Structure 1
Amino acid sequence: MTTISQKKTLEKSTYIAQGEYAIGDTEDTVISTILGSCVATCLWDPVAGVGGMNHFLLPDGPSSRNDISSFGANAMELLINALTRAGAVRGRIRAKVFGGAEMYKGLTNAGNENGVFVLSYLQREGIPCDSQSLGGVQARRIEFMPALGKARQKLVADSRVIEAVPKPEKTNDIELF
């Protein structure tokens, strides 16, 4: 019993992209992703030996979009529901969260908003957050062993913050050469 994005079969090692999630229940299963301003939440039930990871883009978005799993609350509910269907008990679920970097300085605050969202969601739902690595200015590669609840983070050495180029002010002035 392992799934990714609700339908695909999970290999021993699988990569999830934005808007996806995967669950697993074997000790040799590893789920991985790469994050910038996005957030990945690793959830697991240590008693049932089942866990999973999601990867979401923004805390919330328009309800008219088809890719609702790219938004925080939907991504969290999809993962939690998949875990409970796989035998996890909601009251035993624990969390580790990663991501939320500031990758586009001055352009967006999405990374910080994602971090604030995931921590408040976990607190509101009564899910203990055992560890977190949120914020900063570097991308991260996350590897999660869902049955064991173990996670590993590697900072991406060549990631850089992109500075927003200020837009020139619009005026009615004319410059003649």
Structure 2
Amino acid sequence: MSRTVPWPDGMECTLKTIVSGETFVSGKTNLVISTVLGSCVSVCLYDEAAGLGGANHYFLSSSQGQSASYGAVAMEHVINGLMRLGADKSRLRAKVFGGALMKEGLADIGKKNASFALEYLQAERLPIVAMDLGGFSARRLHFHPVTGKARVVRTEAVPEINHKIEQSSNRVELFN
């Protein structure tokens, strides 16, 4: 059973969900690519004239492996996939999302992932027409590959609450 989502122009679109380490390209008008991002990044590329687009979801900026979990491999999969379908690289436009710092005190992997995307796109001379990067909350992304339209919903970060238990007499009090 496939899930559908209403799109702003009134069309019902089938969702194609991608997860970390996956890429997807399409020219279907009734399809929306969906993913959830934390520190990961998704670069959405589209050629509006050809009616083609695609997205990746990577979680490692380093290019040490051959998996689409790595930014460079994920980018090549989308670019090559679009060109195989008939996109012209000179018409590709980019939208970049994700790269959040999901937990304070950990290495800022999201910042590295976002920086990689921006540097890669600049080196390949692919214009960035929209981005929503960084911050402290996860994002749900819906991307319509044919038109390049994107919708992002941010989740509210839930702060960690440290509870202290204080015992005096027979009372227990919790403090934030």
Q: TM-score, normalised by structure 2?
A: 0.80
Q: Note the C-alpha offset of 1:53.
A: 0.7
Query: Which residue does the alignment assign to 1:58?
Result: 60
Query: Which residue does the alignment assign to 2:43?
Result: 41
CA RMSD of aligned residues (A): 1.7
Rate the CA distance shift 1:162–1:22 in 2: closer, same or farther, 3 A.
Answer: farther
Q: Percent of aligned pairs with the same residue?
A: 45
Query: What CA deviation, in whole Å up to 9, does each residue of 1:86-137 have, x standing for no partner?
Result: 1101111000000000002121110000111101100100000000000000
Contact 1:138–1:161 under 8 Å retained in 2: no
Query: Which residue does the alignment assign to 1:153?
Result: 152
Query: Which residue does the alignment assign to 1:5?
Result: none
Rate the CA distance shift 1:162–1:109 in 2: closer, same or farther, 3 A.
Answer: farther
Q: TM-score, normalised by structure 1?
A: 0.80
Contact 2:63–2:73 under 8 Å retained in 1: no
Q: Note the C-alpha offset of 1:156.
A: 1.4
Query: What CA deviation, in whole Å up to 9, does each residue of 1:3-27 have, x standing for no partner?
Result: xxxxxxxx93110000001111122
Q: Note the C-alpha offset of 1:61.
A: 4.8
Structure 1 consecutive aligned stretches of length 4 or more whose deviation exceeds 4 Å: none
In structure 2, how many angstroms separate the alpha carbons of the residues matched to 1:109 and 1:162? Answer: 18
Larger Rg computed on CA atoms = 2
Does 2:77 align with 1:97? no
Give, as a single letter, the amino acid of the residue that structure 1 aligns with 2:21: G
Contact 2:37–2:98 under 8 Å retained in 1: yes
DSSP 3-state at the match of 1:119: helix
Query: Which residue does the alignment assign to 1:117?
Result: 116
In structure 2, how many angstroms separate the alpha carbons of the residues matched to 1:147 and 1:98? Answer: 18
Query: Which residue does the alignment assign to 2:34?
Result: 32
DSSP 3-state at the match of 1:12: strand
Which structure 1 residue ranges, 5 or more long, are not aligned? Answer: 1-10, 164-177
More strand per residue: 2
Query: What CA deviation, in whole Å up to 9, does each residue of 1:30-82 have, x standing for no partner?
Result: 0000000000011000110000110000111533xx6x110101100011000
Give, as a single letter, the amino acid of the residue that structure 2 aligns with 1:154: V
Q: How many residues align?
A: 149
DSSP 3-state at the match of 1:102: coil
